Amino acid sequence: MHVITVEGLGSCRRGLHPIQESLARTHGSQCGFCTPGFVMSMYALLQSSQTPPTEEQIEECLAGNLCRCTGYRAILEAFRVFAKTSNILYTGVSSLNLQDGQSVCPSTGKPYSVDRHKPTSYNEVDGTKYTEEELIFPPELLLKKPTFLNLTGFGGLMWYRPITLQHVLDLKAKYPNAKLIVGNTEVGIETRLKRIQYQVLVSVMHVPELNVLETREDGIEIGAAMRLSILLNFFRKVVTERAAHETSSCKAFIEQLKWFAGSQIRNVSSIGGNICTASPISDLNPLWMAARAKFRIIDSKGNIKTVLAENFFLGYRKLDLAYDEILLSVFLPWDKTFEFVKEFKQSHRRDDDIAIVNAGIHVHLQEHSDNWVVADASIVYGGVAPCSLSAIKTKEFLIDKI
Ligand code: FES
């Protein structure tokens, strides 16, 4: 691992990084939590983009940085200098204030001399020079392969990082109450804020079988440790490559994942963790259920069984999963012609917020005697019951309706 903090980018003493400089110049600085957060989110985006990001990508990368005090205009203005396009509305000259080709001051109405073809930015930082002399990921770390790790912590806590599936299964057989973790986004909250104590934690991040991500003849196989950001990008690629009707579910997941926490969380949290947490307000579980996904479960002896997502959630945080079993992968089938899947989420705030209610909806239409009838349907809600709930009576009512 290679960790860069905001101090690694620049400081008043050593000189500011262009991102910091830009934020300071546009008066976008906030408190000691927000400012480093915004800077590092923007830095991560620039470091991971092959080409300059779009303005939309910049806004998306800041969705996980919630400041309780500010509007974001000055911050976005600071970061727009690094974008592919520069929007004239955010520069010193607005095309609305042009009169006979001359710029006019909006308050006095008097012309002033600015070349309208060369918008002047309030910000003097040149974002195009960004890529020079950046920190790189240390090459010697790239050569290192993950190895088995075993650490102990407070109160006898044991933390394991196996690198083979067999070792994970052996640990699960030995410690049936062991908690599997990937990004620690749920267990971290449970242990720090809810004071829940676990004796054995098993990090499964580096197990190859749990990181599978492949398209098959009949759908997509997704390993349980697959990170949400990687899956989101994979879905985005798949919808450009497959027939439109096959990827209705993928499109619904793309939309839902956009509003799933922020990019920092999506970068490390896994689909298996989200499923097995079995939150009654899970954003994704209603969609897995509606999209007729299947979960592959493996026990400590290596036996594999398949369970329909619809039958996996038994009650409040209760799963059809024995102590010696783990979720191995998720299979998402392609949609057929005239089969449609849609997502729904209602929350207080659009970005980075828990839903009040959410849903996954699936309908399959068929032509019958010059009419379109509902051949199959599924409507699954989150936030209305102890677990994601399928509206079975509604489904029965809809079937065969015109
Ligand atoms: Fe940090 Fe608003 S300035 S929360």
| CA gap 6, 371 in Å, rounded | 62
Task: Note the pLDDT of residue 213.
Answer: 97
Task: Note the pLDDT of residue 119.
Answer: 43
In the three-class reduction of DSSP (H, G, I as helix; E, B as strand; rest coil), residue 353 is classed as coil
All residues at 6 or more sequence positions from 194 whose CB lies less than 8 Å from its CB, including other chains: none
Task: Note the pLDDT of residue 109.
Answer: 63
Q: How far is the CA of 68 from the centre of ligand 1 (A)?
A: 5
**Do the bridges between strand 313-315 and strand 200-203 make them parallel or antiparallel, or are there none, so unpaired?**
unpaired
| C-alpha angle 325-316-314 in degrees, rounded to nearest 5 | 55
Tokens representing 82? 């690094």
Amino acid (one-letter) located at 316: Y
In the three-class reduction of DSSP (H, G, I as helix; E, B as strand; rest coil), residue 237 is classed as helix
For range 165-193, the mean pLDDT: 94
Which residue is it, tokens 């075993």? 150
pLDDT digits (tens, 9 = 90+) for 142-168: 888 889 999 999 888 999 999 999 999
pLDDT digits (tens, 9 = 90+) for 27-56: 999 999 999 999 999 999 988 888 889 888
| CA gap 304, 224 in Å, rounded | 14
Nearest to 269 by CA among 284, 254, 281: 284
13 vs 281, more confident:
281
Q: Assess whether pLDDT exceeds 70 at residue 332.
A: yes
Q: Is the CB of 74 under 6 A from ligand 1?
A: no
% of residues, the chain, pLDDT over 70 = 88
Do 331 and 294 form a contact (C-beta atoms < 8 A)?
Answer: yes
Q: Which long-range contacts (CB under 8 A, 24 or more apart) does 181-185 make?
A: 181/273, 182/225, 182/227, 182/268, 182/269, 182/270, 182/272, 182/273, 183/227, 183/265, 183/267, 183/268, 183/269, 183/270, 183/273, 184/268, 185/261, 185/265, 185/268, 185/269, 185/273
Q: Assess whether pLDDT exceeds 50 at residue 96.
A: no
Q: Is the CB of 69 under 6 A from ligand 1?
A: yes
Which residue is it, tokens 């969705």? 63
Q: Assess whether pLDDT exceeds 50 at residue 118.
A: no
Mean pLDDT estimate for the chain: 87
| CA gap 157, 155 in Å, rounded | 6
For range 213-217, the mean pLDDT: 95
Q: What is the DSSP string of 103-129?
A: EE-TTT--EE---TTSPPPS----GGG
Q: Is the CB of 30 under 6 A from ligand 1?
A: yes
Question: Global pTM?
Answer: 0.84
Q: How far is the CA of 63 from the centre of ligand 1 (A)?
A: 14
Q: Is the CB of 66 under 6 A from ligand 1?
A: no
Residue from 29, 66, 68 whose mutation best tests the ligand 1 pocket (most atoms within 8 A of CB): 68
| CA gap 16, 29 in Å, rounded | 13
Residue 124's pLDDT band, with cuts at 50, 70 and 90, is low
